[in-house]
Amino acid sequence: MFPALSLSLPLARCFLLPSSGPQYRPGGGIELSGFPSFAPQTRPVASDRTEDLKVLNFALSLENLVSAFLSVGLGRFSEDDFLNAGYPRSARDLYAGILVNERAHIHSLLSIVQPSEVRVIGTCDYGFPIDTVEDFVDLSEAIAALAVSTYTGMISTLTTKAYVSLLSGILAVEGRHSAWISSSLRSGSPWNGPFETPTTFNHTWSIARVYVSSCPPGNDPEAVLPPNLLNFPILEITSHVEAGQRISIHFTDDLYVQGLPLFAAFLIGNRNALVPVEVDSNGDRWLNIPQDLTAMGAVWILIVQDFTQGGLLPVTDANTVAGPALVYFPTNSADNRSVRQNAWSW
């Protein structure tokens, strides 16, 4: 449904594709100079107010997940727990402030959807793998990045100006949350680059399902959310990834057409980098992480298959095989907590 990131690129080397067209450095590598003007990605536009309301329901489902995550963490860890883990005294209070913001987002979205013809999506129960304060802080960076990328992609599907304004305001605040976590708590950069990376509904849907324990009866996605949502197989990667590293990757072949070439698509702002997936004699899959991703911040990774077999390869929901995974390539820091974990398979 969402042919996002539909940019055409030649194959057989790793390079970055600006929105203005295919450009690559001879011999491979990612070309980072000369930032192009940003051309919004082509996405299906909601045809009427009802479809817009389903998008707001999707935003509401994301806000419910984020709110549940923060509630679990704040209920489990005290101010002393944060202090003993080496975080500033203000950390827990600021997380509590983020929770207040998320609940305000929920209230605003409910005030629009509840009186409408679209039924409000029910609140699900969630489970999160957070046994320590460090687990909570690490995962909070990933969830904050997910929120920012989701809103960045979601806004372009709306036609109602008032809803565009509402989600834009939420996006700005989510970006502030993400910047604080990445810089103050994880000793990284407060931004990833000149552009945020948009994700599609299916990207976020595939990630959110990992944390859902149960949902209320009658929570039919087709009736209350954007249509044709698809769960992509999980892309399993190691919990720590460095630029220039060779890593093993794992995913099920549910969506893979046997025999087609596979590529890892690195989503970086409004551009993509493609790297061939290598298969060894044992059938194991490997991926060479581009060296040029050093200090790039949050980078999303998808596995895509080449239906063109040597032609021009778009990066779309239609040819996605697995993912997305998230890797945060940190800036240099004397106290770089992001070295502990910087990659999430979800």
CATH of the domain at 68: 1.20.1260.10
CATH code for the domain in which residue 308 is found: 2.60.40
Q: What share of the chain is helix, strand, coil (3-state, %, to 5)?
A: 35, 15, 45
Same domain? For 241 and 327 the reply is yes
Mean pLDDT of the region 234-242: 95
Same domain? For 218 and 290 the reply is no
Residue 207 included in any domain = yes
User: What's the pLDDT score for residue 225?
Assistant: 96
SS (H, E, C) 158-212: CCCHHHHHHHHHHHHHHHHHHHHHHHHHCCCCCCCCCCCCCCCHHHHHHHHHHHE
Whole-angstrom distance between the N-terminal and C-terminal Cα of the chain? Answer: 23
Residue 55 included in any domain = yes
* Residue range of the domain that includes 63: 49-224
Residue 67 included in any domain = yes
Count of the separate structural domains present in the chain: 2
User: What's the pLDDT score for residue 133?
Assistant: 98
- Window from 16-30, 59-73, 140-154 with minimum mean pLDDT: 16-30
Same domain? For 24 and 145 the reply is no
The answer on pLDDT for 34 being more than 50 is no
Residue 44 included in any domain = no
Residue 62 included in any domain = yes
pTM for this model (two decimals): 0.86
User: What's the pLDDT score for residue 332?
Assistant: 59
Same domain? For 256 and 185 the reply is no
Same domain? For 113 and 27 the reply is no
Within 13 Å of residue 122, how many CA atoms lie on the same side as its CB? 13
pLDDT tens column, 157-211 = 999 999 999 999 999 999 999 999 999 999 888 998 899 999 999 999 999 999 9
Mean pLDDT (the chain, rounded):
86
Q: CB within 8 A of 252, min separation 6: which ones?
A: 233, 234, 322
The residue assigned the tokens 């409408």 is: 116
pLDDT tens column, 283-302 = 999 999 999 999 899 999 99
Same domain? For 203 and 338 the reply is no
Residue 3 included in any domain = no
Same domain? For 186 and 277 the reply is no
Please say which residue of 197, 224, 251 terminates a domain. 224
Of 202, 64, 78, the closest CA to residue 143 belongs to 64
Under the banding of pLDDT at 50, 70 and 90, the label for residue 62 is very high
User: What value, to the nearest 5°, has the Cα angle with vertex 32 and ends 28 and 37?
Assistant: 125
Same domain? For 168 and 196 the reply is yes
Same domain? For 149 and 64 the reply is yes
Residue 134 included in any domain = yes
